[in-house]
Amino acid sequence: MRPRIDGGRFSIKRVVGESLTVTADVFADGHEAIGVVLKHRCGGDAHWTEIPMAFEGNDSWRASFHIARPERHLYRVEAWVDHFETWRRGVEKKAAVGKAEPIDFRVGAELARKAAGRAGGADARELREHAEALEEAARGRVSEAVIRALEPRLRSLARRHADRAGAASSDPDLAVVVDRNRARFGTWYELFPRSCTKDPNRHGRLDDVIGRLAYVSEMGFDVLYLPPIHPIGRVHRKGRNNSPASAPGDVGSPWAIGSGEGGHDAIHPELGTLDDFGRLVEAAHQRGIEIAMDLALQCAPDHPWVTEHPEWFRRRPDGSVQYAENPPKRYEDIYPLDFEGEGWRELWDEVLRVVLHWVGAGVRIFRVDNPHTKPFRLWEWLIAEVKRDHPDVLFLAEAFTRPKVMQQLAKLGFTQSYTYFTWRNSKAELTEYLLELTRSDLKEYFRPNFWPNTPDILPEPLQVGGAPAFKARLVLAGTLAASYGLYGPAFELAESGPREPGSEEYLDSEKYEVRAWDLDRADSLRPFIARLNRIRRENPALQWNDTLRFHQVDNEQLIAYSKTAPDGKSGVLVVVNLDPHHRHTGWLEVDLETLGVDPDQGFQVHDLLTDARFFWSGPRNFVDLDPQACPAHVFRVRRRTRSERDFDYFL
């Protein structure tokens, strides 16, 4: 059966409104016909809904069902030897060569009576009538008996009340986790609340974030992700540019959570209060924006848990706690938690309490920091516990780690995941990676969220490529993936300075200081971002991943791909120049069938980034992209109408 993840150990994922297509290889010994159905139900329903599976050849069967409710679904395949259909096929074959005999129809009559015994009401009466008619026809002309035997109505009734005494069923029942639509399509923007200020000497507040919502909304983002907003530790606080020693006035890293002012359930006093946070959530909601909160399960050395629950930390032989390390990186301001120590159960319960505390404050999206450094079983338990009563809560895994670990976290319940997109730059790298995400079993449970930059990662292309590189990476992220995000205002202001040569760390990083950004700079990419996000909202084709198809271009610096809407009525074709420094041209071979275009008819492409329009004819077309003007085409593909073709003729 497919989809089936690890033999059914893990669930696949869908959102409300999607369909699930199930295929199965089903066969039996001998030549008997078989009946095959797909059965599905919501987790709380007592009865299964059945859908006959269609035979596709080579013992393969297929069926689909629509998911209309945001609840966990179960599905299975059931199959049996269909004695009535076996008989019917035999009669049909014999009749075709004039070999049908009266005894054949008496066998059919007996099968119909047995089916009547399994049926009830009107179906039983009708089946008995068919049995009597077959008996009577068997005593008359064979041609009349054949007509009676092959009646579609008799076949339908017999199939409905088939003998399933020896049926085989797939085991175990397979599960589908059904999320709301934000799990499939979303546009994320990350900012540091303390930098929502015009004065670098004044710490921003949550009220300032409320004032920033119009800016975020105008660019078209629907998720606003905030790094940790909790009190920041003072012991071993980091200074600017990750200096091991802080100076007076240094604000420290938000990920060094906890101080005498509180821990993971508290808000940094300089940001505001829980009431202020509630007003932010409500103000964002009014603009169609959700607040995503960072869940970083680690502590500053002066976090209250360190003294109140010393058993939650792993001790070295001298009794001290080892700070976090990822050589050569050192995090002296962070203590890891011991999720498998003697106090693990109480610690897990406390983490659940913290998450539910913020759920109660209106948070429905959590971006989880470094989940791969915590036990897998913690996440499987925690996510299930939260979603049991709050199925609308989503979890994004920030796990830049080994592929199979990332995949395991998705299997365990994470709704979405960060990806390797940030480091996939060449045409070959992007094509190979996207085919893996959209054509392998990953598509059933691993939902990618593409980020061209993060506060931790300033990729090398953005350091050297200028505004064209930022635009190209934005278009790639926003059109290759249904969900993407960026870290701003560093992105729209094309912040490109690394801390030192060869580093992906930002110079003067917001992780360690307050930055007062000039949002009104004339060279801001803000209008370009807003246009791309509007294109994403207005074109359903870009809101899905599984219709992605690549197209051939005879230039390695040009990559081309398309997406179509699930209903097949609209398509988007994207061409991106991957070289931010030079103009590139090439011949594009468009797979017209993928886009639903008649190869014998011309079609219009409308560049939604520049508003240019072109009429193309046939699959082979010329493209020309100057990155200094615009590094990409985002074409909406439209088949020409009869009147347009007539107009071309008169021209």
CATH value at residue 106: 1.20.58.80
Classify residue 42 as exposed, middle or buried by CB count within 10 Å of its CB (0-12, 13-18, 19+): middle
Task: Centre a 10 Å sphere on the Cβ of residue 292 and count the other Cβ atoms it contains.
Answer: 24
* 128 in any annotated domain: yes
* Pairing verdict, β 34-42 and 49-52: antiparallel
Which residues, at least 6 apart from 389, have a Cβ–Cβ distance to it below 8 Å? none
Considering 486, 512, 533, which residue would you say is the last residue of a domain?
533
Q: Do 92 and 11 have their domain in common?
A: no
Among residues 123, 351, 415, 358, the alpha carbon closest in space to that of 226 is found at 358
The angle, 0 to 180 degrees and rounded to 10, between the axes of the packed helices 206-218 and 274-286 is 10
- How far is 308 from 245, CA to CA, in rounded Å? 27
Q: Do 450 and 494 have their domain in common?
A: yes
pLDDT recorded at residue 638: 79
Buried b (16+ CB within 10 A) or exposed e, 538-569: ebbbbbbbebbbbbebebebbbbbbbbbeeee
- How far is 107 from 145, CA to CA, in rounded Å? 12
pLDDT recorded at residue 643: 47
**Are 261 and 269 contacting, i.e. CB atoms less than 8 angstroms apart?**
yes
Continuous H helices in 232-324? 274-286, 304-308
pLDDT recorded at residue 136: 87
Q: Using alpha carbons only, what angle is made at residue 440 by residues 437 and 443, rounded to the nearest 5 degrees?
A: 55
* 252 in any annotated domain: no
List active site positions. 369, 398
Q: Do 72 and 89 have their domain in common?
A: no
Q: What tokens does 35 get?
A: 């009946």
Q: Do 502 and 416 have their domain in common?
A: yes
pLDDT recorded at residue 330: 86
pLDDT recorded at residue 648: 41
Q: Do 499 and 605 have their domain in common?
A: no
Please state, in angstroms and as integers, the Cα–Cα distance from residue 97 to each residue in 31, 104, 191, 609, following that order: 19, 14, 78, 66
Radius of gyration from C-alpha coordinates of the chain = 31
pTM of the model: 0.93
- How far is 649 from 651, CA to CA, in rounded Å? 5
Q: Do 280 and 380 have their domain in common?
A: yes
SS3 23: strand
**Are 270 and 285 contacting, i.e. CB atoms less than 8 angstroms apart?**
no
**Are 235 and 309 contacting, i.e. CB atoms less than 8 angstroms apart?**
no
* 238 in any annotated domain: no
* 169 in any annotated domain: no
Range of the domain at 106: 83-161
**Are 372 and 401 contacting, i.e. CB atoms less than 8 angstroms apart?**
yes
* 125 in any annotated domain: yes
How many residues would you count in the chain?
A: 651
Q: What tokens does 210 get?
A: 């409320």
CA dihedral 197, 198, 200, 202 (to 10 degrees): -60
Considering 77, 94, 129, which residue would you say is the last residue of a domain?
77
* 595 in any annotated domain: yes
Q: Do 459 and 577 have their domain in common?
A: no
pLDDT recorded at residue 640: 55
Q: Do 389 and 284 have their domain in common?
A: yes
- Residue 38 maps to which CATH number? 2.60.40.10
Please state, in angstroms and as integers, the Cα–Cα distance from residue 28 to each residue in 23, 349, 521, following that order: 17, 50, 71
Please state, in angstroms and as integers, the Cα–Cα distance from residue 380 to each residue in 197, 354, 359, following that order: 39, 17, 18
Q: Do 453 and 420 have their domain in common?
A: yes
Q: Do 63 and 92 have their domain in common?
A: no
Q: Do 519 and 558 have their domain in common?
A: no
**Are 504 and 460 contacting, i.e. CB atoms less than 8 angstroms apart?**
yes
* 250 in any annotated domain: no
pLDDT recorded at residue 639: 64
Strand-pairing partners, residue 290, are 223
Please state, in angstroms and as integers, the Cα–Cα distance from residue 78 to each residue in 186, 374, 588, following that order: 37, 39, 47
Taking the alpha carbons of 89, 95, 100, 105 in that order, is the dihedral positive or negative?
positive
Which residues, at least 6 apart from 308, have a Cβ–Cβ distance to it below 8 Å? none
- Residue 591 maps to which CATH number? 2.60.40.1180
* 334 in any annotated domain: no
Q: Do 490 and 555 have their domain in common?
A: no
- How far is 641 from 630, CA to CA, in rounded Å? 29
Strand-pairing partners, residue 584, are 625
Extract the residue ranges of the chain whose pLDDT is less than 50: 641-651
Please state, in angstroms and as integers, the Cα–Cα distance from residue 622 to each residue in 570, 605, 613, following that order: 22, 12, 14
* Residue 226: CA count within 13 A, CB half-sphere: 29
Question: Domain tally for the chain?
Answer: 4
Considering 134, 161, 188, which residue would you say is the last residue of a domain?
161
**Are 280 and 265 contacting, i.e. CB atoms less than 8 angstroms apart?**
no
